[in-house]
Structures are given as C-alpha cells and as structure tokens.
Amino acid sequence: MKEPRPMKHTLILALIVLFSSSASAQDVCPEFANMVSVISEDGKSSKELSLERAVAKQKKKGIYRGYDNSVRLEGATAKVSVKSRQKFAFKPINPQVHPAQQIKLYPFKTAKSYRELVVGGVNTFGGSKNRKSTDNAILLNLEKIKDGCYEVSSTAPLPAGEYAFSLGGQGSSADVAGTAAGYGSTTQGQTWFGFSVK
C-alpha cells in the first residue's frame, strides 16, 4: 500500500505548475501594447511581428474610370513567415474597447516592390462618386490568455500569400474599408504588422 504523498510535496508541485502556466502566458504575449507576436507551434514561445512601413496611395484606373485608394506596405514579402494555422498573441492598446474592434486581418496582393490592399476609391464615369471597397477582413477567433493579452487565430486555414494585421490606435479604428488616400500620405491611424504564409 502506497503512503499518501506529503502535503508539502503536493503544494510545491502545484506551485510549479502554476508558475509554469503563468510563465508560458507571459512568454507568448508581446512586451508592449498594440503589438502582435506569432506563437511558436509548440505554444511555448513567440516572436514579435515587424512593424511595417505603410503609406496610403491613390492610383488612376483609366481616363474616365476614377481612382483606387489603397494601403501599400514596403517590400514584396513580409519578413516573417508562418504556417497556415499558426496562432498569434495580441496586446490591445485600449482595455475599454473590445479587442475584436482593435485588430483586423487583411490579405494583400504582391507587386514588385510592395504589397497592396485596395480600400476604396472614386468613380468618375457619369460624375464623381466615392466608392468604398467591400470589407474583406478575414474572420478571427480571439481567446483570452491573461488580462490584456489575447490569442488570435483565423477561423479557417490561410492560403499561401501575404497578410497584415491592422491595429487601431487611440481614437482610430482597425477597419480600413473606405479609408481616404492621397499621394504619399500615411494611413489614418492604423499600425500594420505583416506576415507571409508559405
């Protein structure tokens, strides 16, 4: 017959498990607010995504067809590559606003020296008229890791390609559908973190 395990021994084991759980949550969460990290496949560590240099552009579609407004990220591909079902950690900047309103994920098209997302435009045929693009944000799941930090994943596997998270700042939204643009202007309050799915 086995002797009962000493209470002191059980307490020490419980503290070790609790500490390990807390350390793991701390390890995967970004160091600062309004940042995104990609979580390793074993869930034990993470790597922060690089902040992208983003500008809003206006591109003429034709003599009478108007303009496309778009967000461009510097470079044809992102610096970080992930797997299709890999998860991310997000630390919102505003605890008073639901995290789903502070982070959006968008697919980008690749050009020679940049990645681009069309976010609206102007139709001039038959009179000038503002045009908003449909919101093609990718559906996300958010699960709380700890206070002020959330696990983020897409609801479906991501096809190979270029993507970027749009994060809203204080007083600005993560939603970019219909964002106005002008030559060389910056995006309107969003912070961008890109990645590639190979």
Please say whether the beta carbons of 183 and 54 come within 8 A: no
Q: Which of 31-40, 65-74, 97-106 has the lowest mean pLDDT?
A: 65-74
Q: How confident is residue 67, by pLDDT bands cut at 50, 70 and 90?
A: confident
Residue 64 pLDDT: 59
Q: How confident is residue 147, by pLDDT bands cut at 50, 70 and 90?
A: very high
Percent of the chain with pLDDT over 90: 51
Question: What is the C-alpha to C-alpha distance for residues 18 and 26, in angstroms, rounded to an integer?
Answer: 12
Please say whether the beta carbons of 172 and 103 come within 8 A: no
Mean pLDDT of the chain: 79
Provide the 8-state DSSP code for 174.
S
pLDDT at 108 over 90: yes
Residue 123 pLDDT: 61
Higher pLDDT, 63 or 184: 63
CA 21 to chain centre: 25
pLDDT at 129 over 60: no
What are the helix (H) ranges across the chain? 7-28
Write the CA distances from 48 to 15, 38, 129, 149, integer angstroms. Answer: 29, 6, 41, 14
Beta bridge partners of 116: 72, 109
Question: What is the C-alpha to C-alpha distance for residues 34 and 181, in angstroms, rounded to an integer?
Answer: 23
Please say whether the beta carbons of 118 and 133 come within 8 A: yes
Write the CA distances from 11 to 4, 15, 18, 22, integer angstroms. Answer: 13, 6, 11, 17
Q: How confident is residue 175, by pLDDT bands cut at 50, 70 and 90?
A: confident
Residue 39 pLDDT: 97
Question: What is the C-alpha to C-alpha distance for residues 54 and 79, in angstroms, rounded to an integer?
Answer: 14
Joined together, the tokens standing for residue 95 give 């605890």
Q: Which of 40-49, 65-74, 81-90 has the lowest mean pLDDT?
A: 65-74
Question: What is the C-alpha to C-alpha distance for residues 192 and 52, in angstroms, rounded to an integer?
Answer: 5
Return the ∠ at Cα 141 (arms to 137 and 146), rounded to 5°: 130
Residue 180 pLDDT: 53
Characterize 128-161 residue by residue with b for buried, 16 or more Cβ atoms within 10 angstroms of its Cβ, and e for exposed.
eeeeebeeebeebebeebeeebbbbbbeeebeee
